[in-house]
Amino acid sequence: MAGGNADVLDIYPLNHYYFGSKESLPLKEEETLDHRIQRLKFNYNTHGIRICVQVVLLVDLFKHPHLLLLQVRHSMYKLPGGRLRPGESEIECLRRKLSSKLSMSEEDDRWEVGECLGMWWRPDFETLIYPFLPPNIKRPKECTKLFLVRLPESCKFIVPKNLKLIAVPLCQVHENFKTYGPIIAGVPQLLSKFSYNTPDTD
C-alpha cells in the first residue's frame, strides 16, 4: 500500500489581511439569461471554446480553513477569476483578473499561482457543468480550470465596491450545491490531499 505525507498548505489568519475598496466594475451577472446565452454563442462562433480560470484562496479563522469568495448582490458567490482573452495564457489571465478584482493596481504581480486543482466542462450553452468531459461530447462550449494560489503572510485586498470579499469555512461550502453551485461546493474535496498548517508568525 502506497503511503506518504499529504502536501502541506500554509494558511495565515484572516486578521493578517487588509480589506479596502475601489470603483465598481461592470458585472455580466446583471444581464438576463437570454442575453447571456446569445453572448456565449456569439463568442463561441468567433473564438471557439470558452476557457475560464478561477482561483482558490485560503485563510485561517478560528483554526479552520476558510475559502475567500466574491459575493455579488448578496445572493451569488464566485471564485475570483474570469475568461481568457484570445492569445492570453492561463497564468496571465489569472494575474490580470486577480489584479482587477483584488488589487489597487492592474500591474500587481504578487500572485503565486500554483497547481491546477481540477477542471469543469460545459457541454452546451444551457446545460449543467461537469467535473469531466462526457465522451459523447466532441465540441464542448466551456472549460473552467481551478488553480491554487498560495497567499503571502500578509497583503492588501482592494475590492470593487459592487463586490464583497468574504471568508467562508470549508465545512460550510462542502457539497452545499444549492448555495454555492457545483464548482465551489466541490473545492473541499479537491483540497483533500492537503494538510493545513498555520505558521507561528508572532
User: Considering only CA atoms, which of 67, 60, 71, 83 is closest in space to residue 189?
Assistant: 67
How sure is the predictor about 74, in pLDDT bands with cuts at 50, 70 and 90? Answer: confident
Write the CATH number for 19: 3.90.79.10
pTM over 0.85? The answer is yes
119 belongs to a structural domain: yes
Work out the mean pLDDT of the chain and round it to a whole number. Answer: 89
Residue 104 lies in a domain: yes
Please name the residues in contact with 184: beta carbons below 8 A apart, sequence gap of 6 or more.
67, 69, 77, 78, 79, 173
In-domain check, residue 1: no
Average pLDDT over residues 48-64: 95
pLDDT digits (tens, 9 = 90+) for 147-166: 999 999 999 999 999 999 99
pLDDT digit string, tens, across residues 96-132? 999 889 986 666 667 889 999 999 999 998 778 999 9
Structural domain harbouring 132 = 7-24+31-197
pLDDT value for 148: 97
Residue 135 contacts by C-beta under 8 Å, 6 or more apart in sequence? none
C-alpha cell at 23: 470603483
Kindly state whether residue 13 falls inside one of the protein's structural domains.
Answer: yes
Biggest alpha carbon–alpha carbon distance for the chain: 55
Residue 47 lies in a domain: yes
Total domains present in the chain: 1
Q: Are 152 and 109 in contact (CB under 8 A)?
A: no
pLDDT of residue 33: 73
In a domain, 180, yes or no: yes
